[in-house]
Amino acid sequence: MLRNQQPFQITRGFIATRLCAFLLLLSLAACQSSPAATTEPLPTPTAPSLSTATSTPLPEATPVETQAPAEGPVLLGEGMSLRKVMEVGPSFIRLVRNPVDGDVYVLDSDGGIYRISDISGSASRDPVAGIRELKGKPTGMAFGADGTLYAVLNTKVGENKTQVVVRKGVPNDEGRFTWETLASSEPYPLSNTYFDHLYNGIVVSPDGQWIYINGGSRTDHGEVEDNAGAFPDTRDVALTARILRIPTSASELLLPNDEAALTEQGLIFARGTRNAYDMAFAPNGDLFAIDNGPDADYPDELNWIREGLHYGFPWRFGTQDNPQRFPDYDPSKDLRLQSGFWAVDNGFYHNDPDFPQPPGEFTDPVVNLGPDAMIYRGDDGQEYDASTQGETLSTFTPHISPLGLVFATEPELPAQWRDDGDTFSAFLVSWGAAGGTLSYRGQGLLHLQLTKTGDNYEVKTTEIARGFLFPIDAVLIENRLYVLDYAGNGAIWEITFE
Q: Summarize pLDDT for 430-449 with one digit per residue, the tens.
A: 999 988 999 999 999 999 99
Q: Which of 363, 298, 280 is nearest to 337 (CA)?
A: 298
Q: Is the pLDDT of residue 344 over 80?
A: yes
CATH: 2.120.10.30, 3.40.630.20, 2.60.40.10, 3.10.129.10. Which one for 17-44+54-497?
2.120.10.30
224-245 as b/e: b if 16+ CB within 10 A: bbebeeebeebbbbbbbbbbbb
Please state, in angstroms and as integers, the Cα–Cα distance from residue 166 to each residue in 139, 215, 250, 412, following that order: 10, 12, 11, 34
Mean pLDDT for 168-185 is 97
pLDDT attached to residue 172: 96
pLDDT attached to residue 256: 98
Q: Summarize pLDDT for 249-298 with one digit per residue, the tens.
A: 999 999 999 999 999 999 999 999 999 999 999 999 999 999 999 999 99
Domain boundaries, the chain: 17-44+54-497
Mean pLDDT for 61-71 is 57
Find the range with the poorest average confidence among 34-38, 156-160, 170-174, 207-211: 34-38
Q: Summarize pLDDT for 37-58 with one digit per residue, the tens.
A: 333 333 333 343 443 333 333 3
Cβ-based neighbours of 300, under 8 Å, separated by 6 or more = 290, 291, 292, 293, 395, 396, 397, 398, 399, 400, 401, 402
CA–CA distance, 281 with 290 (Å, rounded to integer)? 12
Vertex 137: Cα angle to 128 and 260 (nearest 5): 120
pLDDT attached to residue 15: 27
What does pLDDT average to over the chain?
A: 89
Q: Is the pLDDT of residue 316 over 90?
A: yes
